[in-house]
Amino acid sequence: MLDIQERATALLRRFYGYNSFRPLQLDIITTALQRRDCVVLMPTGGGKSICYQIPAMMGDGVVIVVSPLIALMKDQVTALTSNGIPAAAVNSMQTEVENHHIMQQLFTGRIKILYISPERLLMEIDRWSRDLKISLVAIDEAHCISQWGHDFRPDYTRLAKIKELYPHVPIMALTATADRLTREDIARQLRLHDPKIYIGSFDRPNISLRVMIDPGKGKRVNYICSLIDRYRHDSGIVYCISRKRAESMNAELKLRGYKSVVYHAGLSVTERNAAQDKFISGDVQVVCATVAFGMGIDKSNIRWVVHNNMPRNIESYYQEIGRAGRDGVKAEAVMFYSYGDIATLQSFVDESGQQSINTEKLNRMKEYAEASLCRRRILLSYFNETMEHDCGNCDVCLNPPERMDGTTPVLKALSAIVRVNGMVGVTMLIDILRGASRQELIQRGYHQIKTYGAGRDMSFAEWNNYISQMIQLGLIDIAYNEGNHLKLTSYGAKVLTERSQVMLAKYIPFERSSGKRTKSKEVVEPQLTPAERLLELLKEVRLKLARKEQVPPYIVFSDKALLEMVRVEPTDMESFSKVEGVGEKKTVKYWKPFVTAIRKFKGISEPLGTGLSHEETLLLLNAGYDVEAIAEAKNIKPQTVYNHIASLIREDKLSEFSSVITREQYLRVMEVAKSNPEDMYLILAKEMPVGLPAVALAMSDFLLRHKANS
């Protein structure tokens, strides 16, 4: 038990650069190694992948990962190989030659993790003889197997075959969304044997939550622009209710000079992939999208998600905001909502064929949006998780609404509704109250009613906000089936006749409530703190490396890792290798550019020592790399590595040789060195790697030295 824990933690440190496991990860890994089935429920960003990746490095077989998200496999494989973990993918996006080649490598044990699509797995699995040693089958997005889930895929149901063919291979089913019913269904459909169930916390405390009544399009777009400006090195998503709205938001942002793309199901696959690639690689800052976007996106530096319109249920909402801040660094989720959206959503529900359950879900979403309690508590209670205290990171916690006597505006609005016989919507009602003289209003004779102009003292936005509250309080109802006209509820009628007191949350003008204003282009750049400046520098280094290697920047390092570098300020390889989020392979590959930037920033002028290449070799040797692997990681010849080792031995920095040279090899070198000193290198070159004799000689000196000392 302890043994597993120690080994797993060492691998986590070595390959990912993380110091400790998150809750449940170690238990899940242990279960897999004990060859027991399990179902893992964790939110997006919770750290599911590590649960099946670490077992791949601990067992002697391969881990097969079944995932429907073919488009993202390449990305996952790149992330793994960049950490030094041999992984590959087999799917319909690659040529048959490539796929065939990968399957061969799999059989020769050169791949530890194989990503595969369900249909491909079903094609291959019969052909796989029992020779292929599978240590675990991980089923990602496992809710796809269930008709109860929200993304049923018929192909998934045939995965029951895995258990039939390999009854003794453990299965790990993973998902971010599953209620109890779906969870049980997953276990049944996959024929799992007495699976262990792991349910991670759905809390994502680093994401701040905020809901705002729609202040109108212009201000909404300004707000989004201010977010882009604030996080100009990172990216965000704007979720819209329809393709049309996504298109128009995209056009709007582009018009204002921002790099934006659009993504929805109406685009061709090629267009969608291109948009996704641009977003993942950081070429654009924003994607304006419908719900079609985002499944499986694991870009770690998404800093904000805006819901331009209210989503249809809390599950979708939670999954969508969960795409932000996956690195654990602070992120923002902002939602705008309006009664117009609710009308649209209601019409979706009416067409959905599952009216009662979907209405219920929409109502829960509405309650969340309108809440005056800590929003995170509401969210978590939706997922049956209780939170004992307020979160301190949502708009309600941060700016508790100030209460005021709202009786006067309430009576004005209610009486106006009665006088127009409940025949107007929100906009017309406000126009009447504010005494507007637009044509339609005059034509209908509304300028002659008693409350016309009675609310001139308040702005349109202010009225809009108060009327929303009156709807939330149940004083007014919206007749969605009658052109969204406003009607008095019986409670509203009672308040009107009894003139009873009503409290409202005091309106805060949008500009003030939304924090920073959008800066116009002339405004000077904000003053950065030294830490922020260093972070920007490191992001530039990262971007350059990413461009050179043609990978997305977060594959090089996550934002979180960069923040750690800013905190620790490593000025040599050793301290760099200890930064959280920096694994071995990345130490070797990247320490120089980052350490150089940090040294320059700190004004350290003395250049980096040149002998450091030996130190790198030492670090890798100590971490268990063999000579071949070191040569590959550093992209140098094995001979050079042997030279480093010889020098290290001479400098007394290395005293464990068994992984470098065998006893027989050592004795053979000694023998030839004695009998045939002139030609020894020529003779030995035929028998052992070039460079190894030099190591043997250094070793012999070392042994003499130490014999003399003791």
Which of ligand ADP, Zn ion, none does residue 49 bind to, with CB < 5 to 8 Å depending on kind?
Answer: ligand ADP
Interaction partner, residue 18 (Zn ion, ligand ADP, none; CB < 5-8 Å by kind): ligand ADP
User: Residue 364 binds what, of ligand ADP, Zn ion, none (CB under 5 to 8 Å, by partner type)?
Assistant: none
- Measured CA distances, 136 to 77, 86, 133, 236 (Å): 17, 16, 9, 35
**What are the CA-CA distances from residue 513 to residues 493, 497, 672 (Å)?**
32, 35, 83
CB-nearer residue toward ligand ADP: 145 or 430: 145
Nearer to ligand ADP, 299 or 366 (CB): 299
Amino acid at 89: A
Q: Which of 75, 252, 320, 327 binds ligand ADP (CB under 6 A)?
A: 327
Q: Which is nearer to ligand ADP, 325 or 409 (CB)?
A: 325
Please, which of residues 350-389 interact with Zn ion by CB under 5 A? 374, 376
| Cα–Cα distances in angstroms (integers) from residue 252 to residues 95, 217, 534, in the given order | 39, 10, 33
How far, in Å, CA of 76 to CA of 56, rounded? 15
Contacts with ligand ADP in 463-502 (CB under 6 A)?
none
In the list ligand ADP, Zn ion, none, the entry touching 252 (Cβ below 5 to 8 angstroms by class) is: none
CB atoms within 10 A of CB 396: 20
Considering only the stretches 183-191, 267-275, 396-404, 508-516, report the one whose residues sit in contact with Zn ion under the rule CB under 5 A: 396-404
Distance CA 278, CA 286 (A): 10
Q: Which among 205, 290, 183 is positioned nearest to 243, based on CA atoms?
A: 290
Taking residues 397 to 416 in sequence order and writing x for each that binds Zn ion by CB under 5 A, - otherwise, the string is: x-------------------
Choice between 37 and 395, CB closer to Zn ion: 395
Q: Which does 394 bind (CB under 5 to 8 A by kind): Zn ion, ligand ADP, none?
A: Zn ion
Q: How far apart are CA 566 and CA 569, in angstroms?
A: 5
**C-alpha dihedral, 584 to 590 to 596 to 599, nearest 10°:** -40
Q: Which is nearer to ligand ADP, 83 or 451 (CB)?
A: 83
Residue 48 Cβ vs ligand ADP, minimum distance, rounded to whole Å:
3
Closest separation in Å from C-beta 606 to ligand ADP? 34
What is the C-alpha to C-alpha distance for residues 478 and 468, in angstroms, rounded to an integer? 10
Instruction: Give the separation between CA 38 and CA 57, rounded to whole angstroms.
Output: 19
Task: Find the binder of Zn ion among 394, 478, 562, 699 (CB under 5 A).
Answer: 394
Q: Segment 33-72, which members bind ligand ADP (CB under 6 A)?
A: 42, 44-50
Nearest residue to 695 via CA among 677, 659, 706: 659
Nearer to ligand ADP, 319 or 464 (CB): 319
Give the residue from 348, 286, 287 showing the smallest Cα distance to 313: 348
The CB-of-581 to ligand ADP minimum distance in angstroms stands at 7
CA distances from 134 to 23, 130, 271, 564 (A): 26, 9, 37, 37
The secondary structure of the chain in percent helix, strand, coil, rounded to multiples of 5, reads 50, 10, 40
Torsion over CA: 248, 253, 255, 261 (sign): negative
Quote the CA–CA distance of 250 and 288 in Å, as a whole number.
6
Scan residues 7-26 and list those touching ligand ADP (CB under 6 A).
18, 21-22, 25
> Could you tell which of ligand ADP, Zn ion, none binds residue 47, using a CB distance below 5 to 8 A set by kind?
ligand ADP
Instruction: Indicate the residue among 175 and 472 with the shorter CB distance to ligand ADP.
Output: 175
Nearer to ligand ADP, 52 or 223 (CB): 52
DSSP 265: T
Residue closer to ligand ADP (CB basis): 46 or 552 = 46
374 binds, among ligand ADP, Zn ion, none (CB under 5 to 8 A by kind): Zn ion
Residue 595 to residue 565: CA distance in whole angstroms:
9
Bridge-based pairing of strands 476-479 and 485-488 is antiparallel
Tokens read off for 689: 């790697």
The full DSSP string for 286-331 is EEEE-TTS-TT---TTEEEEEESS--SSHHHHHHHHTTS-TTSS-E
**Which of Zn ion, ligand ADP, none sits in contact with 391, Cβ below 5 to 8 A by type?**
Zn ion
C-beta of residue 375 within 8 angstroms of C-beta of residue 365: no
Residue 392 CB, shortest distance to Zn ion, in Å, is: 6
298 binds, among Zn ion, ligand ADP, none (CB under 5 to 8 A by kind): ligand ADP
**Minimum gap (Å) between residue 16 Cβ and ligand ADP:** 6
- Contact by Cβ (8 Å): 146, 155: no
**Of 370 and 390, CB closest to Zn ion:** 390
One character per residue 279-298, x = contact with ligand ADP (rule: CB under 6 A): -------------------x
Residue 326 binding: pick among Zn ion, ligand ADP, none (C-beta 5-8 Å cut-off by kind): ligand ADP
8 Å CB contact between 580 and 564: yes
| 391 belongs to the binding site for Zn ion (CB under 5 A) | yes
Cα 427 from chain centre? 39
525-564 mask for ligand ADP (x: CB under 6 A)? ---------------------------------x------
Eight-class DSSP state of 447: G
Q: CA 696 from chain center: how many Å? A: 50
The partner in contact with residue 21, picked from Zn ion, ligand ADP, none with C-beta cut-offs of 5 to 8 angstroms by kind, is ligand ADP
Which residue from 210, 312, 326, 539 is in contact with ligand ADP, where contact means CB under 6 A?
326
User: In this complex, which beta carbon is closest to ligand ADP, that of residue 45 or of residue 553?
Assistant: 45
Compute how many residues bind Zn ion; rule: CB under 5 A: 6
Enumerate binding residues for Zn ion (CB under 5 A): 374, 376, 390-391, 394, 397
Binding site for ligand ADP (CB under 6 A): 18, 21-22, 25, 42, 44-50, 298, 300, 326-327, 558
